[in-house]
Amino acid sequence: MSKLKNILKQMLNGFEHANAGEYMTMRQKAAHLNNAPVYAKPVNVEAITFDASEGGNRRRVGLFMGSELPEEVMNYTIQTCANLKHDLTVITFQTENTARALLKNYEQALLEAGISMKLKALTGDPISRLARYLKGHPEIAFLACKDTGYLAHRYINGPKDKNLLPVPVVVVVTKQGEAAQQLEKETKQGEKSDIKTA
């Protein structure tokens, strides 16, 4: 019985270390395996940069951003990235300068949550170019977008092709979108009531 107990302990210890490096940097992995403390490097808040390079070893959440960025969408994205321990890739068809200006208000929140952000400005046909980019970046777990934007309208009202994009799409409902849906519902009800009375 003692031999079996030792074998099970070894297996469980192996499992602990097997998954330990899944979401850690090389330095953190080495510290975990050596049971040594990890000393964090001081971060200069003033020198936040947007990493436009490709690659990375941590899973990422994609954010499809148009010409505006509602606070609800960004709060959802930051909270999800923090909960899942994912980094963020912002994908846009706007210019990089426009995208950086929209993201400027959220730099501190991203830094505090420990989320690394990449910004990727694409050109061309939005859906096909976006699909091509996502196929080439398997580290992106899913794509978030606002409900009033191009992608959400295309995804909800467009052709029901299940393979439109290679990742799941999360449509974040904003206050502006809720108001538009309410207005649309009231308009349809008004049309129905007109039909009934006519």
* Least confidently predicted of 47-51, 55-59, 149-153: 47-51
Q: Which tens digits make up the pLDDT trace of 84-130?
A: 999 999 999 999 999 999 999 999 999 999 999 999 999 988 888 99
The larger pLDDT score, comparing residue 194 to residue 153, is at 153
Residue 174 has pLDDT above 90, yes or no: no
Q: Does an H or E element contain 81, and which?
A: helix 71-84
* Least confidently predicted of 47-56, 108-117, 164-173: 47-56
State how far Cα 16 lies from the chain centre: 27
Residue 35 backbone class (left: φ over 0; alpha: ψ -120 to 50; beta: rest)? left
* Least confidently predicted of 58-67, 92-101, 111-120, 159-168: 159-168
Q: What are the tokens at 160?
A: 């029901």
Q: Identify whether the C-beta of residue 167 lies closer than 8 Å to the C-beta of residue 62.
A: yes
Exposed, middle or buried by CB within 10 Å (0-12, 13-18, 19+), for 82? middle
